[in-house]
Structure 1
Amino acid sequence: MDPQRQKLWLSIYLPQLPLEIFLQKETSFDPALNRPIAVTQNQRITTLSQAAAITGLKIGTFSSQAYALCDNLTCIDRDIQREQHALNHIAQWLYQFTPNIGLHGGQHLILEVSTSLALFSGFKNLKTRIHDRLNALGYTAVLGASQTPMAAKISAAFNLPDNHQSPPIVTLGDRELDELMFPQEAILKLASMGITTLNQLLKLPRAGISKRFGQSFVKHIDLLLGDQPDPQTFITAALNFDERLFFLDPIENLQSLIFPLKRLLKNLSSFLTTHQQYLQHFTVKLCYRGKSQATLSIHLAAPDNDLSLFLMLTDIKLTQVKAASEIDEIILSATQFKPATPQAKTLFESMPPSYSAESLQDHRLHPHRDSTQTKRTHDLLNLLQTRLPAKTCFGLSLNNEHRPEKHASSVDLTEVPKPPPATLTPDWPTRPLFLFHHPQRLNKTIDPLQHPDFEKLRGPERINASWWDGDGQNRDYYICRYKQRAIYWLFYRPLTHRWYLHGLFS
């Protein structure tokens, strides 16, 4: 037997795809579902909503005639590009069931599932899970199975009963030719000869069929029955998330987007769980008539998969949007991911902690304290960098530089932290957390070592000059308390005989 016949092909037909890419099943936030809607192409109706079909409208009706039959009809131009995006998106979701997935025409997907049956406890259970997954994504699907891709596509398109254990010649032999996707012109010619079923067609001489209807007609028969190889082009797994929601009625109150955003974020979290990934950044685009009105860029302090966190940060960003007035589409996308490992390195693990014996013992007895503290720190950072303007919340990275003002540099909190310089030692001198960008020169009459308001606590500490970039003066640093309150970090330049305030301890 031909190996092609030993495979099991499952075709997915999405009859309402041209309409469902514009509508969502959650009527609670999309009231447009309850009114008649039609998708048109070249001024003819191609797809109808249930409410439109009830009015008596038919596929193929001119849109001008349709308005006369249904005065409150809403017509949408078919968007082939959006349909292809949806098909690719669905195919990526189905990758959890089989790696052998291909696009099989405008509204069809083809899956080779023979190697997945054992994993999902048989074909019936696999088919049910795929159907439920598609329904959860908001799509109406008809599934059909057979031993060839062509026969599976026909089974789905015409909703034929499953009989995939028998070859197509058995399951489709008595079917009418107009159910087998033959060219309409050939069907009419055969009907005039009294040939209306596949079995009747196969009784005709092959040479005569080829001469009368062409080689492509014969190839269609061979592909249908599996007498000729029908190789499929399968997609490759692309680890990216791009999902969209469209609204027929533009939304003016941005807070009304929370519910549909929750659905998108829920799908994102499910995507991360399925692929065992975390993310640290995602974007939400608010669009109107195909043009972006605002982009929400959400950064996390550490890679995570937390739906409630995603929703909270998105809500905060949404309240900051001022320019967008009307929104008819939201796009949620994420492209960069990290494996979801329980011991993943985070922002504050760039330097190994120097535990004392007591702290090491406490860490062994209560390991959850560290993770809880890290989680709290990340939550605080998430809130800060989401609420504050860009570039006002940043981290610090240590540099291999002895001068205080160049000892550290600001870094984006979302960047992978660089390892600390190898020359760092645990007994480095005391440094304040707050440094002035430019040292503040004191009044020339003030000498902190002689002034009664200053109390020297430590010093001097000599920091040598850097002749290579023009800083040719050495500095003598002191730690002094001012008026029994603030603790200053001061330095004295012998060449100029002047004092400078460089930092604050408290």
Structure 2
Amino acid sequence: MNRRVVSMWFPRLASDRALRLRPVDGPFALTWKQDNAERLHCLNAAAERQGLRRGMTHAEARAFCPDLQSRPADPQGDRHLLHVLRRWATRYCPWVGFEGADGLVLDITGAAHLFGGEAAMLADMRQRLSRAGFSVRIGLADTRGAAWALARHGEGRAEPGRPLEALGGLPVAALRLEAETAIALQRLGLRRIADLAAVPRANLARRFGPGLLMRLDQALGRQAEEIAPLAEPPHYGVRMSLPEPIGLVGDVMAGLSRLLERLCEKLAAQEAGARELRLTLRRVDQDSRQVDLRLARALRDPARILPLFERGVREVEAGYGIDQMRLEAIAVEPLAAEQVCHVAPGDGARLDDLISRLGTRIGLENIQRFLPADSHVPERSFVTAAAAFSAPGGSWTSLRPRPLRLFAPEPIAGAGPEAGPRPPRRFRWRRMSLTTARATGPERIAPEWWLADENWHRGIRDYWQVETEQGRRLWLFHTPQDPGWFVQGEFA
């Protein structure tokens, strides 16, 4: 049985995707910034009929076609679409791989009869893709190279065992050659693949090297070329069926320990760690109970994960017994291998375990930490982030000392406009009468004018460190433009 290969080329993959989301009538193109200029990345058929081409600058294209509509290109979205099309193409055969950034290659050997023959299969492919709004060109031949050439330079079907008859009239560029090699061959008068096949091989190898002959042999079937399908992502799940139902917490934890060892071996083989685990316990009455565990950090250490499950397992109602256990990692992150040593986990590991334990009760999102932010404004000098999804970093250093406690500005009583730019001698704050013993300052802070903030509508602030005779160490500021005194923080 001859090997049969189909090559699908989507010449307008990016623009077809964009127009599926938001249809446009008339010329349309996606733009991409290259060499400090906006250039056309992908065009629809109407734009090509206007004489526009890929690589043309956007300004030049608008001069040729004033009605041109454009949007920025989204390469990541295009790659995702190609993955979706690859999964769809497995309906025709299991061996489907990528052919560059805009094509697919299928090994349909022995599968065409399921669709009524090769012609019916190709017609079904074109019909379904056209109905979905995709432009496609399809080639079918005995080899991957011949199918690629037919899809991009001829669009047709080569009869089994006779690839040269279908490829002979195509240009030499259809052999997937470098542009310089194709131009050099054309200058020598070798414009078609048939002309190239008639030249002695020794002369071609001496002039152009072995790469040219390899591409020619791959297209004509003299040299094999593999089709590597995209590997399916690994599945991180293990299962255990029990000969007798169990119901004690200790028995369930013992079974879970065995499942964790097997699951962590799979994770270690892929250098991955679990962030979210799900334990499914099937009861004798065919009902199931689930125990979900979300971890503060990616882990694959059974000894650290097992105790975190105990609280959830204790809350499970076993009924008449549990006869099957399934453990699955439903959220996985890369986790590089670490050096094994005899030292116990450091403080970071213990903190992560503590966050995971608390997160099972109140939710990981509710455990937050403060992180420094790049801003001289006190209110914006920090941000809060979920501790499980962030890492401590940055620096809290400042040119001037900052209070340990920071709160919204609170006006003080007894300091009117006549108090002046220095801290008042006596004032009231939070129903306390305070007397200034020593004041250090001022430190002038201006608002960030590029951000709208109602809290800074009074303008600049002059901050003072005030030590009171009553023992309070406060952070006061004065607003010269709209005179007033406020307390915003308290030192330890």
TM-score range with shorter-chain normalisation? 0.3 to 0.5
Q: Which has the higher contact order (CA 8 A, sep 6+)?
A: 1
Return the TM-score normalized by structure 2.
Answer: 0.46
